[in-house]
Structure 1
């Protein structure tokens, strides 16, 4: 089972990456942010078109929003799923449906009676992405507990973030860390 990483370098990188993301986003005008999120949707369009079930997330704070890309995917008839926790669970399940209620971690999620699905494409939030697709998350291990099985089931994992979140460095990986297949920002999609 994944647990929060005790690695001091990861804690330092997480703190620096959060600060860089906050600085970047704080300088964006709403119109510019929307344009960048539209660029992301355009970049992801071919990937979304080839997927059947897309796992995504409800952004919090300064996270890059996949919402514009998801609108396009819905128009193509794709099933859209979000992480959903049940009270007391450490692992979420992807449930098809709108994120209409706050979950235990105060992040919007589908209701717990929405169908559980297995995505073939997952848009993954992150704090930072390092060389080789190593993902640095929030540090609680929620995605780490889920992504290995999803990847084994055939899901393609694409981390989403602002360009400042793509670090040109190796991020130490724990045994439970699952490398991403790609990183996407509004400017480019990088395969690993």
Structure 2
């Protein structure tokens, strides 16, 4: 067990943009305290909290981590090892919603994020690991502000997919995130510290 670096002071309530900025800075500052071995061990701990979910899913969607984002890659590899189809977001047109394509992220997409080849088959995940900048106790998420995920995951949630936000511990805010009508609330938040289901009591470790 890696001792966690000290967490920054709690982020205070504010506008979505001010919360996004403060949470992003806190995430960068936290990751700057980690050496490669500590980061890898924390990402392994994240995967351990996702093992049961990944084992029960048919199609698991991950994401290609950028910068200070926590990587779900260990969890994705575990899902593949137990027979799940693995998928990642892929844009064919940056002005249109992405699709989840089965396969590894091998080519750069229009935003510089790695994604599967355009010839990879489209799939509908039943478990989606969602990157975020911050999330509150209701599952209200702050992303990069472009709405890419909200345009895709709402329909999948209505068809039964579980939406699991993934991040470092300080990305779970005590402050309430102001939600717009089009924002899609997530079902749970996973970090190296555990898996928290929103609308249920307690935190599962």
Fold-level match, TM-score > 0.5?
Answer: yes
Task: State the partner residue of 1:20.
Answer: 26
Q: Say if 2:84 is the partner of 1:78.
A: yes
**Structure 1 residues 67-146: aligned runs within 5 Å:** 67-146=73-152
Could you report, residue by residue, the CA deviation over 1:140-165 in whole angstroms, capped at 9, with x for unpaired residues?
Answer: 11001111111012110000000010
- Are 2:171 and 1:165 aligned? yes
Gaps of 5+ in 1: 1-7
Distance 1:80 1:190 in 2: 23
* Deviation digits for residues 36-83 of structure 1 (CA, Å, limit 9, x no counterpart): 000011111001111010111000000010001111111101100000
Partners of 1:88 and 1:127 in 2: how far apart?
Answer: 21
TM-fit CA distance, 1:90: 2.6
1:113 deviates by: 1.3
Q: Runs of 4+ in structure 1 displaced over 4 angstroms?
A: none
User: 2:68 maps to which residue?
Assistant: 62
Q: Partners of 1:88 and 1:146 in 2: how far apart?
A: 13
TM-score, scaled relative to structure 2: 0.88
Which of the two has greater helix per residue?
1
Q: Distance in 2 between matches of 1:35 and 1:14?
A: 26
CA distance in 1, matches of 2:191, 2:106: 26
Q: Which runs of 5+ in 2 are unaligned?
A: 1-13, 199-205
Give the aligned CA root-mean-square deviation in angstroms: 0.9
TM-score, length of structure 1 as denominator length: 0.94
Question: 1:151: which partner in 2?
Answer: 157
Q: Residues 86-132 of structure 1, C-alpha deviation per residue, up to 9 Å, x if partnerless?
A: 13433100000110000001000001111110000000000001121
- Correspondence for 1:35: 41
1:4 alignment partner in structure 2: none
Paired residues, number: 185
Specify the alignment match of 2:8 in structure 1.
Answer: none
